[in-house]
Chain A
Amino acid sequence: MKHTISVLLQNKPGVLSRVTGLFSGRGFNIESLSVAETMEKGVSSLTLVTGGDDNIIEQITKQLHKLIDVIKVTDISETDNVEREMALIRVKAESTTRAEVLRIADIFRARVVDVSPRSYALEITGTNDKIKAVTELLKPIGIQEIIRTGTIAMTRASKKP
């Protein structure tokens, strides 16, 4: 099962290698990883997507928590959440397929961020599934390049007043 884990950590030198070293050293895998600063100075947030059975996920969260620089670990998949990824896709767009590419972009609310006579570059955000769906549709037309971010995620606020 896929799990999205959110980690708040102190932004000290080497902290990222403590996290990735933990994963490689213990044989856990990382499917995607994204790190950025938070509003608080010196604190970063890291979102990582990993897989494994319940025991493995339990070990991962505990081991992350054990790192001295880690402030908080949340398994976001356990909660109601919003997950997003972004992809930049350069797709072949010749006279016969230009309209088709734009139509697909429109359906998925992707933006055209670069245009050339033979290609379009699209920017698309959404869940991992949505990005997969777009790439599947664009593949037959001809994807020339694709750059993706890792997943970022946030727990939804309580709906109770």
Chain B
Amino acid sequence: MKMTGTQAFMQCLEEENVETIFGFPGGAVIDLYDTIHQQDKIHHVLVRHEQAAVHAADAYARVSGKVGVALVTSGPGATNAVTGIATAYLDSIPVVVFSGQVPTALIGNDAFQEVDIVGITRPCTKHNYLVKEAKDLVPTIREAFHVARSGRPGPVLVDLPKDVMASIIDFPVKTPVKMRTYKPTYTPHPGQIEKACKAILAGKRPVLYIGGGVILGNAHEELTDFARKLGIPVTMTLMGLGGFPGTDPLSMGMLGMHGTYFANMAVAKCDVLIAVGARFDDRVTGKIDAFAPHAKIIHVDIDPTSISKNVEVDIPIVAGCKEAMTQMNKWVDSREIDLEAERTKLAPWHDQIKDWKAKHPLGYVDETDIIKPQFVIQKLHELTQGEAIVTTEVGQHQMWAAQFYHFNHPRTLITSGGLGTMGYGFPAAIGAQMAAPDRMVIDIAGDGSMQMNIQEFATAMQERLPVKIALLNNNYLGMVRQWQELFYDKRYSATPMEVQPDFVKVAEAYGAVGLRATKPSEVVPVIKEALSTKTLVLMDFVISREEGVFPMVPAGKATTDMLLV
């Protein structure tokens, strides 16, 4: 069938079951927007900054499990998208970003609004494409979706020159994408599965250390089954929270720099460490030679480059987390293993962990007249029964959310882990709410981060999204201030926010609802009012200004060297 490039583009999105795209128009994509205007199958969300378009598409992907889509114009539109792309890249999120480009004849001429966005994003995309000929348009878009969602997912950028989009093409029939050079491995090697299972059964002090791969790979059920069957304690990375129920007795919460005392101690003393879909990031391992020094290390990951990158692994398993956990469950189930006896064998190990937990539980010093941020998160958890989708910005509030909102389900904590992008949470809440219109979506925000994408109030209002923002307002760039307090003799360089908007009034200016709590007694009423309001609400919690996040492992120290509450 003959059609224009822009029509073919829309048809490709339909093929991929895309329902929502996030974007911002401009000269290079004006034809595309004209076509968007003439159809009603795909809903376009007009953001107020291209960074937000990519964050929203990214969160849409994290919540729905589908590929998120963003559309931006050439030049500044494309460069504005880069932070969003890098954010998705570091967290392995399937996103396809379409950027407009100047006509092919002008490429390389420093034309108006021309940048080499393919060159700029090469190191922060899984792959990217410049479509130079009209005949390549449809195959390239199909390949882009395939690459973004398969294997270790990631963002893919497709650069679309204006003339290519305006040309008439023959829409090719859909055939499965076949790529000579790209074939991710999902199925684990049976020999490695057997080795791993035997090592786990031989262990007296096993620990499961799980990351975002469990969530991306939809492996939470298989993993939970495995952990419970053998009674193995589980710790999660920031990206892994929700991959195993946070309120399960086997859960030790998060590990690493702001992990729990008992999780970090358990990893330090374990004799078998089973890493699933985690990548031994420096925020998790601390000083590398002190990380699980006594353990035999098993590492399940779909990306071979993750294995033995930072830590030497004893039993590597290159596979999808779901496939690997399924096979490990099968191996255990098919042997005559007395599971009761296996669990009893681990009793001394569980006792030890209980002791650590009793000695230094996760906590904070409560006060009567000033709001503690941890208290706010606890109340949010309580009043939403732990069932909200929580997005976060980056900073102390993010860590408190990770510590105190015990995530029980995958795809419910939406946070920028790898890149740590301030300004992520609000547009992410928009994307999350678009993906899950009936869920409660809360952005746990900081006052600094909030101002990095504050313009998105307009987007949320335009889409009538009932997103809730819980702003933990310490009037500081708190996380940096905490480092300055601890390691720079309290020299608070550039961290006090000397001028701050009245956030309640900002919300109101956009037609949203703004609420404020300044005393602990106001916290619950404010949350209740927000949760029962059907529109966008910002809750401004004025919190104890110099509260710190603890435990804390100073950068580069062993994870057993924790500063405690």
Would A10 and B181 count as touching, CB distance under 8 A?
yes
User: Are A66 and B303 in contact (CB-based, < 8 A)?
Assistant: yes
B439 within 8 Å of A (CB atoms): no
Q: Closest approach, in angstroms, between the C-beta of A5 and any C-beta of chain B?
A: 15
B137 to chain A, nearest CB (A): 16
Are A59 and B305 in contact, CB atoms less than 8 angstroms apart?
yes
CA gap between A13 and B104 in the complex, in Å = 14
CA distance A62 to B305 in the complex (A): 5
Q: How far is the CB of B311 from chain A (nearest CB, A)?
A: 10
Q: Which residues of chain A are near B303, meaning CB under 8 Å?
A: 66
Q: Which residues of B contact A10 (CB under 8 A)?
A: 180-181
Q: Is B182 an interface residue (CB 8 A)?
A: yes
* Residue contact B119 to A14, C-beta cutoff 8 Å: yes
| Option from A9, A59, A68 in Cβ contact (under 8 Å) with B127 | A68
- Taking a contact as CB atoms under 8 Å apart, the answer to whether A65 and B304 are in contact is yes
Give the contacts of B87-137 with A (CB-CB under 8 A).
118-119, 122-123, 126-127, 130, 132
- Given that A58-B308, A66-B303, A68-B147 are known contacts, is A21 also in contact with B123, CB under 8 Å in the complex? yes
Tell me, yes or no, whether B309 is within 8 Å of chain A by CB: yes
- A69 cross-chain contacts in B, Cβ below 8 A: 181
A57 to chain B, nearest CB (A): 12
Q: Which residues of B contact A17 (CB under 8 A)?
A: 119, 122
Say how far B461's CB is from chain A's closest CB, in angstroms. 40
Given the known interface contacts A58-B308, A68-B147, the answer about A13 and B130 at a Cβ–Cβ threshold of 8 Å is: yes
User: Main secondary structure on chain A at its contact with chain B?
Assistant: helix
One of B122, B123, B312 near A14 (C-beta < 8 A): B122
Asked whether, in the complex, the Cβ of B181 is within 8 Å of the Cβ of A68, the reply is yes
- Asked whether B181 lies within 8 Å of A71 as measured between CB atoms, the reply is yes
Question: What is the bound-complex CA distance between A69 and B180, given in angstroms?
Answer: 9
Instruction: Tell me the smallest distance from the CB of A10 to a CB of chain B, in Å.
Output: 6
Q: Which 10 pairs of residues, A with B, have the shortest CB-CB distance?
A: A62-B305, A68-B127, A71-B181, A25-B123, A62-B304, A68-B182, A63-B305, A66-B305, A21-B122, A21-B123
28 residue pairs from A and B, CB less than 8 Å apart: A9-B181, A10-B180, A10-B181, A13-B130, A14-B118, A14-B119, A14-B122, A14-B130, A17-B119, A17-B122, A21-B122, A21-B123, A25-B123, A55-B308, A55-B312, A58-B308, A59-B305, A62-B305, A65-B304, A66-B305, A68-B126, A68-B147, A68-B179, A68-B181, A68-B182, A69-B181, A70-B181, A71-B180
